[in-house]
A and B are shown apart, each in its own frame.
Chain A
């Protein structure tokens, strides 16, 4: 029997257990096992780079086979999962040093990795759901490692996550009730043959589950707390990978279970794409814009990144929901890119927190002189995030824009473009308030992070460049995946896209090389001028005033306060507040319900009488209550 996929799936779990046990011996054993096994997973994954496996039976449950499979798309997501998890593990070695319960932390980290790997490899809904649930609660345990506030955040997360998972469970049970098997292929056949009401119900139920995990508005409310309160490496796993798993679920739902043609049949085609996908596109579009606005006004570095994640996942979902080959490719590519640059940013901000102990943007500043590597990583991260050429974020966003334009989805295109412009604002805020500006005196002795924490930053920075200048590398996988799902892939080459069919052309290598040429010209002009000499940050223009060390001569609090004046009136209400209001009223209602247990024996005895009479009453009704 071919155990291959099983081995792949079990590697992280084994690694988790071994590192847990190893940690009892010595901490270096724990790290060795964790890093070894997560790298091993990555290596194993590369064996499947060009080798799809369709049917690997895991077992049988409830008369439905549980199967594993790997296709190029799941390979792509599995690649994201394993890479980012590996880097997170490497990063945590120093970052989490000195905290309690580290054995358990690494165990959880690897179990989460395994569960997410399981989701990407799942070939049927039962396996999918099983790993989904495992992922939910193990990632909850990771979130709450971040200290006191994280507990509340984790609580919010687990509640929303359980709701999402349960919503999926209903859909799965409905499908199981019909055909007693949950293999993707059979489910797709069932859905194609089912009445439309059933299909739509299934769709909505699944979508709720995926929206929660992918943090699409309006089910995003857990994100800003959870991402910001969790430990940095966990945040990068959450934002880089967990969100992508939500997007992967959505992809599976749209293309593996339903398929564009079926979605088109479900609702009349009033718009260029199937209405149901159009709706999802709008959810994504609103996510993009609203959370961009929220991110601009944050004072907390990780909260800012959290909102930015909501916004960026909006692009992924938007791309996937467009339904054309270009859009899907753009969405998937953006998933990869977002995983790279957002994890990078969480790592760098984590590094800053590691050294300075604060993530309050208005307390930081000027760290570029102390942490140049971290700064470089952040720089690459923000350029990629803002979708500015020549780094990777630009390419995938550009694909999404082009796809929207191809389909004449102009209003969504406006939202997407605006979201991207808005992202300049918050990324600049992020890098400015942490690394630029004046260095506060209390951070005078801050040092660069240890080498082990630099590794993920270096590698991911490299990733932003590589996938930016050579988008063909990622497109190889994506195009094969699209072919696998019956979508004709678009034309591409190593350096970009030749264009055609209403789509513009793009050659990243030209852009980057001309840019470098321009830089060289600028440098020549610069070098011809007089020599510069470094001056202290206090030797600064202050209208003649002498800046001293005890004055804070830095602009960082309320960076976009004036912008806040423009948009704040709109943001007085929020989804979070609505949910909390619901929770409160449910609380009050539940409290009234509870009072049926009065504690009085007389009342209780009367209940018995009531029940006997009720049952007796049934005699008169003939036993039927409905």
Chain B
């Protein structure tokens, strides 16, 4: 009897399905596309099963080969990791449902295998408790993402895929160098173990490996100015992939940075630097998004901005900041994934990614447009949507102490939210109230595309109506994250 609550299954199940896909691909290429939904559904169920455990124990640790940490490869799921895993599975499920109808290009079997691998990698990244494992997961994610970005094989996607490949590889090597340095210094790869051992190192000794890890992860995590691949890659990929990339992959990388910074390195001294980077990311992301004519590019830049936003909240270092960061991650993942899916659905009708061509489609594609508005509102932080509460939390966290700097920061944050409002409202205006171009035959996208994002929309609306439990949970998660000793003790508890 398989223990349903073993977090290793989160990796094992999708991997198994990848192999399954490889096996059945020679017989039926079409059949492979039904594998990802199943895999992600199983993953989702497992993660949901894990909730009570995590809530009870705080951190659940799973080991391989029966050897206890720090010696074996292990998996440690805490609140943050689990929530991200839930989001990853959910988005994976939604996106793969969407794919059933959306992906018509060949080779479908390879696409589905890569897609499964992408999901696996992301889930792996957020639940691993091991530094080298993190690298491996990172590589799995990146490589599948390279493939997926270039999947459409037109000029754009190949260029984007290539850029992404180069940058991603540099990132991966930097990460590897960092991990190697850590191993050389501490002799262990287990995060908790490193965390314990590294405490005796001086700031300078710690900084070199940290800077490599930070930069390596930062490339994937879309931090300014390492994110230059993103605005090319996200739009070029198929929309379902973009939704995963924007929705959860960058977030997973940010999670890795958070994990490294808080749990492993315990770097509070570095936060001003992180804060600066986050702020720059936010400012450049939102400003650039404002000038985009291409809807997916705009959403991609918006992702950069949002990443900056929650990374900023995280870099405040307070419980409330972390809480805000987590809430915003949740909000952003759901909304942005939905927005990408909707943008994809609209593009199938409009056959263009130019915002000007979207004018007036609100009258024809009612459901899509309304849900686009819901996603945008949530992302902008308009009440009663969940984004409002996360924005509020982050602002409250920033202004926990009132002085000149914090007020300046908040002014910048809010100014950026005005810009974000500006470009989203502009798009919505042209969608709902613009003039429909004559001679175009636009109708609502097929139900196969609509149903997935409507499910996501319903999740967002549910959060809007009933945000209190999530806010409470996010506070718990934040407290857990900031008390790194709990994590370390839980992993190394056996020793």
Contact = CB atoms under 8 A, between A and B. Distances in A.
B319 to A, nearest CB: 12
Contacts of A148: 433, 435
Contacts of A596: 225, 284
Contacts of A594: 284, 287-288, 291
Contact of A134 (B207, B284, B383): B383
B208 A608 contact: no
Contacts of A201: 407
Given A134-B383, A597-B231, A619 B429 contact: no
A603 B211 CA distance: 20
Given A608-B219, A623-B270, A615 B211 contact: yes
B425 A155 contact: yes
Interface string A579-603: 0000000000011011011110101
Most chain A C-beta atoms within 10 Å of own C-beta, residue among B219, B383, B422, B429 = B383
Nearest to B218: A611
Contacts of B435: 148
A597 B415 CA distance: 21
Interface string A90-102: 0000000000100
B418 interface: yes
Chain A's interface size range is 35 or more
Given A593-B284, A618-B207, A169 B414 contact: yes
B35 to A, nearest CB: 35
Nearest to A583: B422
B311 interface: no
Contacts of B98: none
A173 interface: yes
A158 interface: yes
Interface in A157-172: 158-159, 162-163, 166-167, 169-170
Given A590-B287, A596-B225, A177 B417 contact: no
A151 B215 CA distance: 44
Nearest to A594: B288
Interface residues of B, number: 69
Given A176-B399, A608-B226, A134 B384 contact: yes
B271 to A, nearest CB: 10
A133 B228 contact: no
A198 interface: yes
Contacts of A610: 225
A615 B218 CA distance: 12
B364 interface: no
A605 B410 contact: no
Interface stretch (B24-32, B52-60, B119-127, B166-174): B166-174
B395 interface: yes
Contact of B166 (A166, A177, A605): A605
A608 B215 contact: yes
Interface string B202-240: 011001101110110011000001101101100000000
A198 B396 CA distance: 16
A570 interface: no
B482 interface: no
A151 to B, nearest CB: 5
A130 B391 CA distance: 12
B232 A176 contact: no
Contacts of B429: 144, 151, 154-155
Given A133-B382, A158-B425, A178-B402, A173 B212 contact: no
Nearest to A170: B410
A616 B203 contact: no
A282 interface: no
- Interface centre among A59, A61, A133, A136, by most chain B C-beta atoms within 10 angstroms, is A133
Contacts of A563: none
Given A162-B417, A611-B225, A612-B215, A622 B167 contact: no
Contacts of A623: 203, 207, 269-270, 273
A541 interface: no
A167 B211 CA distance: 37
Nearest to B421: A162
A604 interface: yes
A597 B383 contact: no
A159 B421 contact: yes
Task: Name the residue among B211, B212, B400, B415 with the largest chain A CB count within 10 angstroms.
Answer: B211
B402 A601 contact: no
Interface in A100-152: 100, 126, 130-131, 133-134, 136-137, 140, 144, 148, 151
A163 B270 contact: no
B377 interface: yes
Interface in B365-382: 377, 382
Interface in B391-409: 392-393, 395-396, 398-402, 407
B132 interface: no
A169 B415 CA distance: 12
Contacts of B284: 593-594, 596-597
B426 interface: yes
A528 interface: no
Given A62-B393, A590-B290, A615-B207, A144 B170 contact: no
Contacts of A174: 399, 402, 407
Contact of A604 (B163, B291, B377): B163
A597 B287 CA distance: 12
A300 B435 CA distance: 25
Contacts of B287: 590, 593-594
A170 B404 CA distance: 12
A626 interface: yes
Interface in A252-299: none
A20 to B, nearest CB: 12
B146 to A, nearest CB: 14
A625 interface: yes
Interface of B: 162-163, 166-167, 170-171, 174, 203-204, 207-208, 210-212, 214-215, 218-219, 225-226, 228-229, 231-232, 269-270, 272-273, 276, 283-284, 287-288, 290-291, 363, 377, 382-384, 388-389, 392-393, 395-396, 398-402, 407, 410-411, 414-415, 417-418, 421-422, 425-426, 429, 432-435, 468, 471
8 contacts: A61-B471, A62-B471, A144-B429, A166-B414, A178-B402, A596-B284, A607-B225, A619-B208
Given A201-B407, A590-B291, A596-B284, 16 more contacts: A148-B433, A166-B415, A169-B395, A170-B414, A173-B395, A173-B399, A174-B407, A177-B396, A178-B402, A593-B284, A594-B284, A605-B166, A605-B167, A612-B212, A619-B204, A625-B273
Q: Ordered nearest first, which 5 A-B pairs have the shortest CB separation?
A: A615-B211, A173-B399, A166-B414, A604-B228, A607-B225
